[in-house]
Amino acid sequence: MAKIKYTKTELKKQRDALKQFTRFLPTLQLKKQQLQVEVQRTVDETRKLAVKKDAVMAEIDAWVEIVARPEFDTVQKFVRVRDIIEETKNIAGIDVPVLKDIVFDVESYDLFSNPPWVDSALDAMRRLFRLKTEESFLKEELRLLETELRTTTQRVNLFEKVKIPEAKENIRVIQIALGDEQTAAVCRSKIAKRKAVAAATAEAPA
């Protein structure tokens, strides 16, 4: 605890600080609650995405032997990622990157000279890449939200458990000290008055 002065100026300073802490605390508590909700939402979305990704992987596994064939290397060249478009979304006061769209370039190919499963393979590749990209964005969003939640929780704890109790205790101690000082001043004044009366009486002619 920082050393305080037992003065009226310090008392006002501590009272102002207490008002500021108690005014800001509800805002921090609300932000903490919002972040907790958003973290849980992101976790739930990540789980749902994992289920979708597993479904696509299971679909791919159904023809994994075909994928292992040399001609599949040629099929992979038919589709390329041209651009990953992202935007920024503000969540509980922080900016997080969000996947908006993925642009694929798909080369035209002869349906008669390529295996019949090429369309399905290309579609599965696009869906799997999109899901993996969405997953990476969600993981980054979760990381940012959890970091902000930890920081906000620390601030809430600081205000609740340190700053507010400390300011209240400082105010109490200063008030006691000022009260004691006032009482002592009154006592000194009375003593001085009695001495002055006694001196005046002693000097008065008989």
> Could you read off the pLDDT of 132-177 as tens digits, one per residue?
999 999 999 999 999 999 999 999 999 999 999 999 999 999 988 8
Q: What is the pLDDT of residue 114?
A: 64
Q: Is residue 39 part of a domain?
A: yes
- The rounded distance, in Å, linking the Cα atoms of 35 and 67 is 43
For residue 55, the Cα-to-chain-centroid distance in whole angstroms is 33
The reported pTM is 0.76
Kind and range of the H or E run holding 180:
helix 164-203
Of residues 92 and 190, the one with the higher pLDDT is 92
For the stretch 91-139, pLDDT in tens is 888 999 999 999 988 777 666 666 667 777 788 888 989 999 999 999 9
- The rounded distance, in Å, linking the Cα atoms of 118 and 111 is 8
Q: Is residue 41 part of a domain?
A: yes
CA geometry: angle 22, 41, 154, nearest 5 deg? 30
Q: Is residue 54 part of a domain?
A: yes
Domain that residue 119 falls in = 8-161
Residue 93 is given by DSSP the state T
Which residues have a Cβ under 8 Å from the Cβ of 118 and sit 6 or more positions away? 75, 78, 109, 111
Q: Is residue 2 part of a domain?
A: no
Number of domains in the chain: 1
Q: Is residue 122 part of a domain?
A: yes
Q: Is residue 202 part of a domain?
A: no
Q: Is residue 174 part of a domain?
A: no
CATH of the domain at 126: 1.10.287.3240
In 3D, which of 139, 53, 129 has the Cα closest to residue 98? 139
Residue 146 exposed, middle or buried by CB count within 10 Å (0-12, 13-18, 19+): middle
